[in-house]
Amino acid sequence: VREIRSDAALLAAAGGSPELFAAVFDRHYETIHRYLERRAGRDAAEDLSGEVFRIGFEQRSRFRPVHESALPWLYGLATNLLLKHWRSESRQLRALARVEAGWREDAHDAAATHNRVDAQAVSARLLAAVARLSQGDRDVLLLFAWEELTYDEVAVALGIPEGTVRSRLNRARRSLRAVLGDLDQAKTSFSAAIRKDTG
Amino acid sequence: MTNMTDEMQLLRLAKPTVGGPQPELTEERRRELLAYSASVSRRSRLGSRRLFALAAATLLSVLAAVVIVSIGGRSGDAWAAGIVKVAETAPRLLIAAPEWKVTRADEFTLNTGEMTFSDGSHQVELRWQPPVSLEDMVKDRAAESNISTTATVLGTEARVFRYSGTNDFIALWAANDHTIEVRATVSDLNSFEAILGSLRTVDVDTWLSAMPASVVNPSTRRQVVQSMLVDIPLPQGFSRTQLEQGSAVRDRYQLGAEVAGAAVCAWLNRWVAATDAGDRAGLRRAVGALATSHQWAVLLEMQGQGDYPKVVWEYADAIAADRTVTGGNGKGLPIRDTYPDALGCPRP
């Protein structure tokens, strides 16, 4: 089933055969879970990931097969759930701040420690700036930057025109640039620390 | 100097590493989904008539709400009824100091809104939303803050926070039918409290009059729409009425997208119809009209503020060359399947 059917075909036929929708689940559950985990933490991801697919099944007739993959549409459902789920932005902030914790945990190398201190400063400023964006701008930015959706895929996910996607992305980038403008040195250290860790 | 690419690279590098789903929980969710979808499928076969009746009732409720809004109160002739309704439900706060101007106010609905004020060197963001648990918000803000205090704002006690390691201050309070949040990046708490102390509630006319020049006043909307359409070829039967009569506060960029978009959508609808009918003259008219979009004044004005014009031109060029548009991962996407989403067109 998985090899021979597009998501669109599976969704179209899923009403009569729920097993077909399970094939969509198999393809995309992990990706959606990771997205939710990045944005809201592991506990919320466990709660919400199944909900995304339950809603997806209910709303499968609304899926428009512009793209072969249902993933942009599922990202949209997940993003809507996040909106309703977050009681405040701070939960999100704490989830994002785990990046910093990750740096500290990985600090095996004494020579890299200095860079990591700078990296933490840049990271904190950057993520705080992300958290301060309006919800709409933040959704576009993170779907584009972290989930690597294209403009048109973000448009499908959020149900907005592609031109609006680009405008929101421009505005979000300007906000980040303003925050990072005076941190070039720290940024360099940040990048160096990352290269050392991932290289 | 940090450039546009840098901040995106940094953000991508800061993407949190996550563990992903646990296999046993994934299997559990899969079983739940199968059980749920099987159950829904059975119910839907039995209850489709009932669902139709429910949908019809919901639609009637929505229509009734629209009618109520459209005939809502009016504060003089200067403002259309719809925007007065929005203004009446908004907190209508301004910073009562001449150097502070409203610089952005393009995201209103009946119950939520955002505005940005600027004095030329600082920005203040004001947001309002329907009442939520202030205690939940306070609890969460406090967890991230190294200052937590109170201030009196317009006779109401507000909770004030500063995010740790930054000069980002936040005030939260409950007022009438909203939870209000003010944010600013300023040098110290006293500066932030001075801003809070300058907030005033104003009447509808004063509030609407404070909108920036980039915001199109509903009373001048018809004139602005007409000026935007002046160099845009329109297909036969194109109706300007809805464009001219909109009553929402619109940023000029957003209105430009609405106006240019209406024309582009109309031409692309004609292009699809002509393609299907084998109407070569109709095709030429649509292609020719959209080819002029590279010179439309409204799009040229907008191109420095956002990318809506680029999307229009991408489609105009694609139909001229009879090719697809470039979509995800460099793939070619059919024009007819993608233009409604790309340009915000109503589905034909």
Task: Dump pLDDT digits (tens) for B11-36.
Answer: 888 787 788 888 888 888 888 888 77
> What ipTM describes this predicted complex?
0.78
- Closest approach of A177 to chain B, Cα-based (Å): 6
Q: Is A192 on the interface with B (CB under 8 A)?
A: no
Residue A6 DSSP class: -
- Closest approach of A38 to chain B, Cα-based (Å): 6
Residue B115 bridge partners (DSSP): B126
Please judge whether A190 and B10 are an interchain contact, meaning their C-beta atoms are less than 8 angstroms apart: yes
Q: Give chain B's mean pLDDT.
A: 77
Among A15, A53, A124, the residue with its CB nearest the CB of B33 is: A53
Higher pLDDT, B302 or B348: B302
Sign of the torsion angle spanned by Cα atoms B273, A157, B260, B323: negative
B162-219 residue pLDDT tens: 876 667 788 999 987 888 989 888 889 999 999 999 999 998 888 888 887 666 666 7
Interatomic CA distance for residues B127 and A135, integer angstroms: 11
B235-257 residue pLDDT tens: 999 999 888 876 555 667 778 88
Among A15, A96, A153, the residue with its CB nearest the CB of B328 is: A153
To test the contact with chain B by mutation, choose from A66, A94, A96 the residue with the greatest count of B C-beta atoms within 10 A, namely A66
Please judge whether A38 and B16 are an interchain contact, meaning their C-beta atoms are less than 8 angstroms apart: yes
Please judge whether A164 and B30 are an interchain contact, meaning their C-beta atoms are less than 8 angstroms apart: no
Q: Is A8 on the interface with B (CB under 8 A)?
A: no
Question: What are the b/e assignments for A15-52, b being 16+ CB within 10 Å?
Answer: beebebbbbbbebbbebbbbbbbbbbbbebbbebbbbb
Please judge whether A87 and B136 are an interchain contact, meaning their C-beta atoms are less than 8 angstroms apart: yes
Please judge whether B40 and A58 are an interchain contact, meaning their C-beta atoms are less than 8 angstroms apart: yes
- Closest approach of B346 to chain A, Cα-based (Å): 11
Higher pLDDT, B266 or A63: B266
Which H or E run contains A110? helix A110-132
Which residues of chain A have a CB within 8 Å of the CB of B25?
46
Cβ–Cβ < 8 Å for B222, B84? no
B144-166 residue pLDDT tens: 667 788 999 999 999 998 876 66
Please judge whether B44 and A99 are an interchain contact, meaning their C-beta atoms are less than 8 angstroms apart: no
Which residues of chain B have a CB within 8 Å of the CB of A26?
30
Please judge whether A162 and B183 are an interchain contact, meaning their C-beta atoms are less than 8 angstroms apart: no
**pTM for this entry:** 0.49
